[in-house]
Amino acid sequence: MKIPLSSANVDLQSALSGKRRIIALNKKDLANPNIMRRWIQYFERSKQDSLSISAHSRSSVKELLTLVELKLKEVISREPTLLVMVVGVPNIGKSALINSIHRIAASRFPVQEKIKRATVGPLPGVTQDIAGYKIANQPSIYVLDTPGVLVPSIPDIETGLKLALTGAVKDSVVGEERLAKYFLAVLNNRSTPLHWKNLDNEERSRPPFDPRMRNKSILKHDVQRRKLLLDDSDVRYVEGFVKEVRRTLYATFSSFEGDLMEENELECLIDTQLAALQELFKISTKSEEGARTMVSKKLITLFRTGKLGPFVLDDVPDASGHIS
């Protein structure tokens, strides 16, 4: 979960206050584990049960189910039917979690009818109806997959950018270049590129990376390619691609002599970085705007798939509730 607070729906809090609830911090494989531990501690201080999970990991989802059963222990003994609802912003992994839960449930008790699967996809808005999936007998427990729910009005621009950057809002609504610039602003303000300094000191025993070496880029949505296992050359291609992006961002950041606290100077650095990435990707179009959009899409994809490293965009509030 890259945005534990920005993804919260304040308008639902009153409706959920009387319900048994668990905050599932999904996509833990894409987040910094040390920061995630701090988030778990934050929710513990707030008297809220939480667990960091990966919806595609069987062991992780089983751990979540154990916690759910514990929360429902009293009710299970007296209610013939229970409903469990999965609620969250769009594209956060709700349907993937439902499918994992259903697979685990199917292994625990016989299922007479064909197992229904929740529809998943890389874009927000795939789930459009509330659907129920039976996951247990005695008592009968149904889990409801719901469409992503956003607040009617986003409280501030930065929250909106975080939601869009993580895919809760369609990229076209905000604009890919604006999202890429926001991501670079976050990286630069945190001095993240400095962590990649040692890349230049690594032994370069492999041939130099060339984005033109293949037509089948990892950033293209090729259905047939996704079905194939990565071979060694593919892995080397991905690693080389990511290393060169990191080296480029480090080089531009380390040579920057301006003040990051000055908005205009930070924008100059970001423009320099986008131009350097455009050269790295060897993107050439008649339209500068079109080239920037293509660069931005590639950078956003690298962020969302965790290729550039684990990030949590939200800062953890301290004990007094202030952002640290």
Q: Same domain for 21 and 116?
A: yes
Confidence class of residue 264 from pLDDT cuts 50, 70 and 90? very high
CA–CA distance, 252 with 237 (Å, rounded to integer): 23
CA–CA distance, 218 with 281 (Å, rounded to integer): 13
Most confident of 61-75, 218-232, 270-284: 270-284
pLDDT for residue 130 is more than 50: yes
Binding site, by residue number, is: 26-29, 148
Q: Same domain for 141 and 183?
A: no
Q: Same domain for 14 and 134?
A: yes
Q: Which residue has the tokens 């999904």?
A: 26
pLDDT computed for residue 180 by the predictor: 97
> Does residue 217 fall inside a structural domain?
no
Residue percentage of the chain with pLDDT more than 90: 39
Mean pLDDT, residues 138-149: 78
Binding site for GTP, by residue number, is: 26-29, 148
> Does residue 119 fall inside a structural domain?
yes
Q: Same domain for 16 and 128?
A: yes
> Does residue 151 fall inside a structural domain?
no
Tokens linked to 306: 């965790």
pLDDT computed for residue 114 by the predictor: 47
Q: Same domain for 133 and 181?
A: no
pLDDT computed for residue 259 by the predictor: 95
| C-alpha atoms less than 13 angstroms from C-alpha of 247 in its C-beta half-sphere | 15
Q: Same domain for 89 and 131?
A: yes
Query: How many domains does one find in the chain?
Result: 2
> Does residue 225 fall inside a structural domain?
no
CA–CA distance, 100 with 117 (Å, rounded to integer): 9
Q: Which of 152-156, 164-168, 226-230, 238-242 has the lowest mean pLDDT?
A: 226-230
Whichever domain contains 94, its CATH number is 3.40.50.300
> Does residue 246 fall inside a structural domain?
yes
> Does residue 41 fall inside a structural domain?
yes
* Residue 34: domain span: 10-145
Q: Go through the chain and tell me how many residues it has.
A: 324
pLDDT computed for residue 8 by the predictor: 83
> Does residue 96 fall inside a structural domain?
yes
pLDDT for residue 214 is more than 60: no
> Does residue 293 fall inside a structural domain?
yes
Q: Are 299 and 277 in contact (CB under 8 A)?
A: yes
Confidence class of residue 119 from pLDDT cuts 50, 70 and 90? low
Question: Kind of pairing, strands 81-86 and 50-52?
Answer: unpaired
CA–CA distance, 7 with 167 (Å, rounded to integer): 11
Over the stretch 24-45, which tens digit does the pLDDT of each residue have? Answer: 999 998 888 899 999 999 999 9
The separation between CA 269 and the C-alpha centre of its own chain, rounded to angstroms, equals 26
Q: Which of 73-77, 249-253, 280-284 has the lowest mean pLDDT?
A: 73-77
Q: Are 317 and 42 in contact (CB under 8 A)?
A: yes
Which one is predicted more confidently, 60 or 323? 60
Confidence class of residue 133 from pLDDT cuts 50, 70 and 90? confident
pLDDT for residue 215 is more than 50: no
Q: Kindly write down the DSSP assignment for every residue of 268-289, as one continuous string.
A: HHHHHHHHHHHHHHT---S-HH
Q: Same domain for 101 and 184?
A: no
Over the stretch 41-88, which tens digit does the pLDDT of each residue have? Answer: 999 998 999 999 999 999 999 999 889 888 888 888 788 888 888 888
Q: Same domain for 179 and 140?
A: no
Confidence class of residue 203 from pLDDT cuts 50, 70 and 90? very low
pLDDT for residue 175 is more than 90: yes
Q: Same domain for 137 and 241?
A: no
Amino acid at 44: E
